[in-house]
Amino acid sequence: MPNDYFVERDFVNQERLNEVIYNDLPEFCKEFFVGIQNRTTLLTRLNYAYDLRLFFEFLNERIPNFKSVPPKKFTLRNLDNVTSFDIEQFLNYIAYYVKIQDGIKTEFSNSERGKARKLSSVRALFRYFFRKEKLKSNVAANVDTPKIHDKEIIRLQNEEIPSLIDTVESGNGLTKHQAAYHAINKLRDTAIVTLLLGTGIRISECVGLNLDDIDFANKSFVVTRKGGNRVILFFSEEVADTLKAYFDSRTKDKTIPLNERALFVSKTKTRISVRSVELMVKKYSKLVAPLKNITPHKLRSTYGTELYRETGDIYIVADVLGHRDVNTTKRHYAAITENIRKNASDKVTLRHKDRTKDNEDD
């Protein structure tokens, strides 16, 4: 049975996608989005739409050959006249640019990773119409992908993990104003943080949980992963304790409407938002690790790190975290792989100390 949260989210995203396609993009883009829908997720298509809107706006505003061609009037013949250099200029432009709308100035920037994603969107468009033989050449294929330098993964250290959970439970260090909310939400906040740290689920998977997704008898729960797949995951006894405490309190709360099936609810008695969880994690983590920008995704990285250290199996980590490509996992945990290899070098002893000593005695 589809999860209502994800059905609603997909409906909203589909509306946003349609709005961009029909209001902002060239007419031929409709064919592109229909053509790729069976091999891409809705979120991927929405990101493509946003990226392509920016690309066509750039061409119209910055490239002399297209000054008289607004995005909606762009044709495939115009697209065939785009050069590799035009695309390279686009990547240079989005490093930092300014948009003014309704008199409000907004600054934007893109890292190498952001540039690479937008180039991927442009490439997908050119590749699609080149394969359909509607373009003479695929100039986007000639543009080099920006080199991405892997950043060090920010995660909690071993001693910071129990400290964070203790802080969420106790509320120690919170302001008087924050402490008032803590008294009300202590069980919920503890359950969320423990669940994120103890299972590595994504924040969207966490806020999307419903009451009937939890099975305490088997210490398992069902999450909806990227692409809509429903997967059964398991949790430890420690996670079960905090989750059960909140679950019992949640089901006894008569102020929550009976038709609200969300597991984690906000002060308005409706499903808690992603933003609320992000702010909650930030509030507590600043008391434990003030120099780190800890987010729910960093808690996911913390879990992945601990799981990898315990198992040494990158495939287990990839499966539990829901990475469709194990290479994604390898990139994230490359530093730990090096540590595991280093530790492994001491596991095999060629000349045991006691044996050497016996030989000396002889």
pTM of the entire predicted model? 0.69
| pLDDT value, residue 346 | 57
Distance between CA 189 and CA 198 in Å, rounded? 14
Position 50, amino acid: Y
Is-contact 112 147, C-beta < 8 A? Answer: yes
All structural domains of the chain with their residue ranges: 4-142, 160-294
| pLDDT value, residue 16 | 95
| pLDDT value, residue 347 | 56
Those residues whose C-beta lies under 8 Å from the C-beta of residue 25, and which sit 6 or more positions away, are: 49, 52, 53, 56, 71, 72
Closest CA to 34 of 230, 25, 87: 25
- 217's tokens: 């008898």
DSSP secondary structure string, 208-234? T-BGGGEETTTTEEEEE-GGG-EEEEE
| pLDDT value, residue 10 | 86
Distance between CA 215 and CA 221 in Å, rounded? 6
The domain 160-294 is placed in CATH, from the list 2.40.128.120, 1.10.150.170, 1.10.443.10, 1.10.3230.20, at 1.10.443.10
Distance between CA 155 and CA 166 in Å, rounded? 17
| pLDDT value, residue 284 | 96
Q: Residue 250 CB: number of other CB atoms within 10 A?
A: 18
List the pLDDT tens digit at each of the 362 positions of the chain.
556 777 888 889 999 999 999 999 999 999 999 999 999 989 999 999 999 999 999 999 999 999 999 999 999 999 999 999 999 999 999 999 998 888 888 999 999 989 999 999 999 999 999 999 999 999 999 999 998 776 667 889 889 999 999 999 999 999 999 999 999 999 999 999 999 999 999 999 999 999 999 999 999 999 988 777 888 999 999 999 999 999 999 999 999 999 999 999 999 999 999 999 999 999 999 999 999 999 999 999 899 888 888 888 888 888 888 887 777 777 666 556 555 555 555 555 566 555 555 555 55
| pLDDT value, residue 331 | 65
